[in-house]
Homo-oligomer: A and B are copies of this chain.
Amino acid sequence: MSTPIAPEVVDHVHEVARRARRASRQLAQLTRGEKDAALLALADAVDAATAAVVAANGEDLDRGRASGLSENLLDRLTLDADRVHAVADALRQIATLPDPVGEVVRGSTLANGLQIRQVRVPMGVVGMIYEARPNVTVDAAGLGLKSGNAVILRGGSAASSTNAALVGVLRSALEAQGLDPDAVNLLSEGGHDAARALMTARGLVDLVIPRGGASLIRTVVTESTVPVIETGVGNCHVYVDGSADADMAVRIVTNSKTHRPSVCNAAESLLVHRDAAARVLPGVMAELAAAGVTVHGDEDTRGYAETAGARWVPVTPEDDDTEFLSLDISARVVDDLDAAITHVQEHTSGHTEAIVTADRDAARRFTAEVDAAAVLVNASTRFTDGGEFGFGAEIGISTQKLHARGPMALPELTTTKWVVEGDGQVR
C-alpha cells in the first residue's frame, strides 16, 4: 500500500537519530541544576533572537497567505514579539517543574538480600510529528531537555522558516552551555518521507508522539514501527442526568461546547435524560443559539432548539462519531442512564466524558463504566488539560491506554530501569 521511503532520506534521518542518541547519553547524566540552568539560558537566547525569529516567521506567513492558508491556521502560525516572549517564558516555567528523572518508583530488599529499585530514567530519543505551531517546537525541546531526552522534531512545512530559526537558536545556546547541540534536532528536509523514516527508525528512536488532526495520527499509528503515543482526538460527550440541576447543566454544556470549540477537550455531543429535557433544554438551547452553535439533534430536541432560535439540523449516524472542532454539537434525548452509558461506550474517542447529575449512584455508575482518559462529574470537559491539572506543562493528551492516559507532562516522557544490587547472589 505504501511506497518505499527514499533511501537518502532514510540515511539522513538515521544519521540524525544516531547523533541524537549520543546526545541523549549526555542528557541522561545531567543533574536537575544543570538542566534548569540550560533551560534558562535557552529562554534568554530565544528572547535575544526575537527579531530574527519574527522575521523568519514573516517568511512563513507570506508563503502561507500566498498559498491560501485559512485565517485560523495563519493565527496559529504567527509569532510576534509578545508570542516569542511567551515561548521563552514557557522554557522558564519548565525550569521550575520537578525533575522526574531519578525518582525511585518502588523498591525492596528480597529474601536473598538483593536490593532492587525501579528508578525513573529518560526515554532516550523522542520524535515529535506535529503541525504548523511553532510554540510546540520550543515546548517539545524544553520538555525533552528537562526530562533528559534528545528530541527529533518534524514540524509542519508551513512553519519551516520559523522552526529552523528557533531550533538554530536552541542548538547554539546548548553549545554555548557546553552541551551537545544534537539534543534538539529538526527534520527540515525530505518532506513526508522524513516523517515516515522517523516513525520507522526502530531501535534508533524510542518513542514517537504525533500531535495534530485525526488523519496525521492515523497515518503515524498505521505506519510506525516505533512505539507511539496517540494524542488528541476528542469526541467528548456531556450527559445531563434526570436529576441534574438545570442551571449547572446549562453552564457546563455551554462552557464545554463554546469556551474554545477548536480544541480536543471541547464537547461534541450532548445527551439529555428524558426526565430532564423540559427543565434543561430550553436554557441549553438559548445559550447555544446565542453562541451561534448548530445543533445536530434528534426529533426530541427539535422543538426546544426552534423555540430558542438555535439552528437545528437532523443528527446523522456520522455526527455521533464526529469531532466537529467547530460551533456544532450533536444532541440526543435518551431514556435513561443505561442508554446514555451505552451511547458513550459506543462513540467515545476515549478522551473526556462528563455527567451532570445530583444522583450519587448515577455519578458512581458513570465514572465506573465509562472508559475514557478522564471522566468528569459536574464539571466542564475543558478541564482535561495538563495546565488545569497542575502539571505545569503539557506535551499532549493521550487517548490511548498504554503508558500514558490523559494529559502528559514530564513523567510521561520517562521510562524506568530496575537497578539490582547484590553481593554475589546466584540462582
Residues of A participating in the B interface, judged by any CB pair closer than 8 Å: 25, 28-29, 108, 110, 114, 116, 118, 121, 123-124, 202, 206-207, 221-222, 225, 227-229, 245, 248, 251-252, 254-256, 259, 345, 363, 367-369, 371-380, 382-384, 388-390, 400-403, 405-406, 415-427
Total copies of this chain within the assembly = 2
Q: Once the chains bind, are B248 and A382 in contact (CB under 8 Å)? A: no
Q: Which residues of B contact A227 (CB under 8 A)?
A: 227-228, 400-402
How far, in angstroms, from A416 to B389 measured CA to CA in the complex?
Answer: 15
Q: Looking at the assembled complex, report how far the CB atom of A284 sits from the nearest CB atom of chain B, in whole angstroms.
A: 13
Q: Which residues of B contact A121 (CB under 8 A)?
A: 371
Which residue in B256, B369, B421 is a CB contact (below 8 Å) of A377? B421
Q: Once the chains bind, are A422 and B379 in contact (CB under 8 Å)? A: yes
Q: Once the chains bind, are A379 and B425 in contact (CB under 8 Å)? A: yes
Which residue in B108, B225, B400 is a CB contact (below 8 Å) of A222? B225
How far, in angstroms, from A236 to B423 measured CA to CA in the complex?
Answer: 19
Q: Once the chains bind, are A383 and B255 in contact (CB under 8 Å)? A: no
Chain B residue with the shortest CB-CB distance to A2: B1
Q: Once the chains bind, are A379 and B416 in contact (CB under 8 Å)? A: no
Which residue in B123, B377, B389, B415 is a CB contact (below 8 Å) of A422? B377
Which residue in B28, B369, B377, B415 is a CB contact (below 8 Å) of A405? B415
**Among A254, A374, A382, A420, residue most surrounded by chain B Cβ atoms (within 10 Å):** A420
How far, in angstroms, from A202 to B110 measured CA to CA in the complex?
Answer: 40
Q: Which residues of B contact A380 (CB under 8 A)?
A: 425-427
**Among A28, A29, A227, residue most surrounded by chain B Cβ atoms (within 10 Å):** A227
- Considering the complex of A and B, which 6 residue pairs feature the smallest CB-CB distances, nearest first? A379-B422, A255-B426, A401-B415, A403-B403, A374-B418, A227-B402
How far, in angstroms, from A383 to B254 measured CA to CA in the complex?
Answer: 56
Chain B residue with the shortest CB-CB distance to A113: B379
Chain B residue with the shortest CB-CB distance to A400: B227
Q: Which residues of B contact A424 (CB under 8 A)?
A: 245, 248, 251-252, 378-379
Q: Looking at the assembled complex, report how far the CB atom of A419 sits from the nearest CB atom of chain B, in whole angstroms.
A: 5
Q: Once the chains bind, are A417 and B373 in contact (CB under 8 Å)? A: yes
Q: Once the chains bind, are A417 and B371 in contact (CB under 8 Å)? A: yes
Q: Once the chains bind, are A417 and B375 in contact (CB under 8 Å)? A: yes
How far, in angstroms, from A416 to B202 measured CA to CA in the complex?
Answer: 27
Chain B residue with the shortest CB-CB distance to A4: B1
How far, in angstroms, from A371 to B203 measured CA to CA in the complex?
Answer: 12
Which residue in B225, B369, B377, B427 is a CB contact (below 8 Å) of A259? B427
Q: Once the chains bind, are B110 and A388 in contact (CB under 8 Å)? A: yes
How far, in angstroms, from A206 to B371 measured CA to CA in the complex?
Answer: 12
Which residue in B110, B255, B373, B406 is a CB contact (below 8 Å) of A427? B255
How far, in angstroms, from A110 to B427 measured CA to CA in the complex?
Answer: 49
Q: Which residues of B contact A248 (CB under 8 A)?
A: 423-424
How far, in angstroms, from A207 to B403 measured CA to CA in the complex?
Answer: 11
Q: Once the chains bind, are B110 and A390 in contact (CB under 8 Å)? A: yes
Chain B residue with the shortest CB-CB distance to A24: B371
Chain B residue with the shortest CB-CB distance to A111: B390
Q: Looking at the assembled complex, report how far the CB atom of A300 sits from the nearest CB atom of chain B, in whole angstroms.
A: 25
Q: List 7 A-B contacts (CB under 8 A).
A: A248-B423, A377-B420, A378-B424, A378-B425, A379-B425, A380-B427, A405-B416
Q: Which residues of B contact A118 (CB under 8 A)?
A: 406
